[in-house]
Amino acid sequence: MPKQQTHSVMFGYLMWIFGFLGMHRFYYGKPISGTIWFFTLGLLGIGWIVDLFLIPGMDREADIRFADGDVDYNIAWLLLAFLGAFGIHRMYIGKWISGLLYLVTLGFVGIGVIYDLWTLNDQITVINGRQ
């Protein structure tokens, strides 16, 4: 039986629009290079353009690396990207207490959102692995 897709190429390209901030790299589980892209604006735009061609490969790697299950990676990342400071993504993955704390502290004043950029894929894999 073939492995289910956990990540989406189309969603990766949507995140690539914000790629000069490294969002697509965080989405595909590459937090170190995502952070480098964030601080260098996508390696001064050059890395950002190169990634346009690398996204299909990053998608295949992510599909192999992360576990499929009830929690959808794309929905969680969409919520993190646009509502991260409000903790909606944490509530979606079942972490209600920290989600409510994010809501009243704006994502622990942004530090929690940065933590989630680095670890959301692994958090979802653990949750999907329990099911």
As a whole number of angstroms, the distance between CA 122 and CA 131 comes to: 15
At 51, which amino acid appears? D
Contact 65, 29 (CB under 8 A): yes
Same domain, yes or no: 78 and 95: yes
78 shares its domain with 131: yes
pTM confidence score: 0.93
Count of domains forming the chain:
2
Look up the domain containing 89 and give its range: 70-131
pLDDT band for position 87 (cuts 50, 70, 90): very high
Task: Compute φ and ψ for 75, nearest 5 degrees.
Answer: -65, -45
* Residues 3-49: tens digit of each pLDDT: 689 999 999 999 999 877 999 999 999 999 999 999 999 999 999 99
